[in-house]
A and B are shown apart, each in its own frame.
Chain A
Amino acid sequence: MAQADGRISRLRIMVTVALALIVAIVPLPEALRPARPDFLLLLVIYWSLSAPRISGLSFAWLSGLAIDLLSGTVLGQHALAFLVVAYLTHKFQLRMRIFPIWHQTLTVFMLIALYQFIVFWIDGIVGPGITNWLRWLPVVTGALFWPVLVAVLDTWNRRRA
């Protein structure tokens, strides 16, 4: 359904971002921790598709910086990864919007994989990287959460604020 960019307010985006940041650090059982999806990244992709005027590259960069601050990694690491993902999303937004959902999910899967790879790569430059296979688990869980996220946020966006 066609929707004007203006109806999605900045406030709405800020609320979702705040929630995603909380989910990023909320304590989980030890077994589930490696599977925690990168909700903030999913949000950045979603808002880049549905509200590209508000959620530009600087928004993505600042979101990444917030993750850097929270996780105590070298500043700019996640910011760069977020930036690259947001750039690709913006670049292909017209195509990605009209993909069927499974196709879109696959694209998002690859975007998250790219994100994790950039983080992994910079980790390796800065210090001893983490070579555990479980570190790629968020790619799978993130892609699985994508249809859910789209369904929820689309429903929310269709209602008038």
Chain B
Amino acid sequence: MVTLSSDTRPIIGRGPPLGARLFFLGLLSVVVMVLDHRGQYLETARQWIGIAMNPLYAVVEAPATFWNWMTGSFSDRATLRVDNARLSKELHSARVKLLQFDALQEENQRLRALRAASQGTAARTLIAEIISVDDVDPFRHRIRVNKGATDGVYKGQPVVDAFGIVGQVVRVDRYTAQIILISDAAHAIQVQINRNGIRSIASGIGDLKKLSLPYMTIEADVKVDDLLVSSGLDGIFPPGYPVARVSKVERDPSATFAVVEAKPLAQLDRNREVLLLWVARSPAETKETPPVEAAPPAKTAPPEAAPQQ
């Protein structure tokens, strides 16, 4: 039984009655919800109040950080040598690939200039680390990263990893941001089949290993193992980034739409780091953007490059 505490205050003069307080605070909640959801008026307020939560993240993160530091500082010589050898090998092969990439990029830009295409390319990137805290709601696929408004992160910003598109930024605090993964049930992304250019929409269904393409007619030319890339029509994701690979196609002759499922290429459940992209949109911007050099210009680029979304 809960211990009893005798309330010794006089009955009169206790402040407003309970019902009135409920009414007032309830009304306040509804107003706040409407302002936040309908008007998005509270983004700045959320950023500033969110600072109060940072100590919590720091505390929760501390054991993991400490463990990383421990394993880092006590790993033995042999492990380090093996790692070093492996990394330099990887760097070597990556350099070779980058050479091809440079050539391809130049060719691509020439072709684009010929077409006077307005498709944007990523102008600036920034690596963000995922903070290992659990979102309160385990049924939504959201992650929190350690970059926020002070780093120029904006709402609706595309996020990728080394294998494909991860998702987009949904909430921005001062020092952290929340990212919705493409597998979240509330997320959909405009895609295109790389083989033949058929456009469709891939929506998340709340499963990390699956996306659903609900608008593929049964006649649509889609096969298992087709690569889906972003089409860029949504104005959020830059075109041409890999999204998923088709894993299942089922055609029921009596239905209008085929059942098409795809497996996301990004490592949604295993990431430690993701890449935030700033996309140059207008053709003018694209022309002004200097060609990407061998070293990614991530941190040297001016921080004002964030376009309004």
Contacts and interface: CB of A to CB of B under 8 A. Distances in A.
Given A46-B2, A79-B32, A24 B136 contact: yes
A66 B50 CA distance: 9
Nearest to A56: B21
A48 to B, nearest CB: 10
A114 interface: no
B2 A72 contact: no
Contact of B33 (A21, A66, A77): A77
Interface string B187-230: 00000000000000000001000000000000000000000000
Interface stretch (B56-64, B160-168, B242-250, B288-296): B56-64
Contact of A80 (B3, B21, B33, B139): B33
Nearest to A67: B136
A115 B217 CA distance: 42
Interface in A90-149: 90-91, 96-101, 104, 122, 126-128, 130, 132, 134-135
Nearest to A132: B139
Interface in B135-153: 135-140, 142
A4 B8 contact: yes
Interface stretch (B22-30, B96-104, B253-261): B22-30
Interface string B155-193: 000000000000000110000001000000110000000
A8, A67, A83, A127 — most chain B CB neighbours (10 Å): A83
B285 interface: no
Contact of A75 (B26, B46, B140): B46
Contacts of B170: 72
Contacts of A76: 28-33, 36
A96 to B, nearest CB: 7
Contacts of A69: 46, 49-50, 52-53
A27 B138 contact: no
Interface residues of A, number: 64
A22 B60 CA distance: 7
Contacts of A73: 136-137
B18 A91 contact: yes
B3 A157 contact: yes
B134 interface: yes
Contacts of B81: none
Nearest to B49: A69
B42 A25 contact: no
Given A25-B133, A158-B3, A53 B9 contact: yes
B1 interface: yes
Contacts of A132: 139, 206
A25 B62 CA distance: 13
B16 to A, nearest CB: 10
Contacts of B73: none
Contacts of B206: 130, 132
A49 B132 CA distance: 34
A57 interface: yes
A70 B21 CA distance: 25
A51 interface: yes
Contacts of B59: 22
Given A69-B53, A128-B186, A5 B138 contact: no
A157 B3 CA distance: 8
A83 B136 contact: no
Contact of A26 (B4, B30, B133): B133
Given A57-B22, A97-B2, A101-B1, A25 B37 contact: no
B6 interface: yes
A50 B60 contact: no
Contacts of A18: 56
B1 A98 contact: yes
B186 A51 contact: no
12 contacts: A2-B6, A8-B5, A25-B135, A33-B138, A70-B56, A70-B136, A77-B29, A80-B33, A98-B4, A100-B1, A127-B186, A135-B139
Interface of A: 1-5, 8, 18, 21-22, 24-28, 33-34, 36, 46, 49-53, 56-58, 61, 66-67, 69-77, 79-80, 83-84, 87, 90-91, 96-101, 104, 122, 126-128, 130, 132, 134-135, 150, 154, 157-158
User: Closest 7 interchain pairs by CB?
Assistant: A71-B136, A76-B32, A33-B138, A80-B29, A76-B33, A76-B29, A25-B133
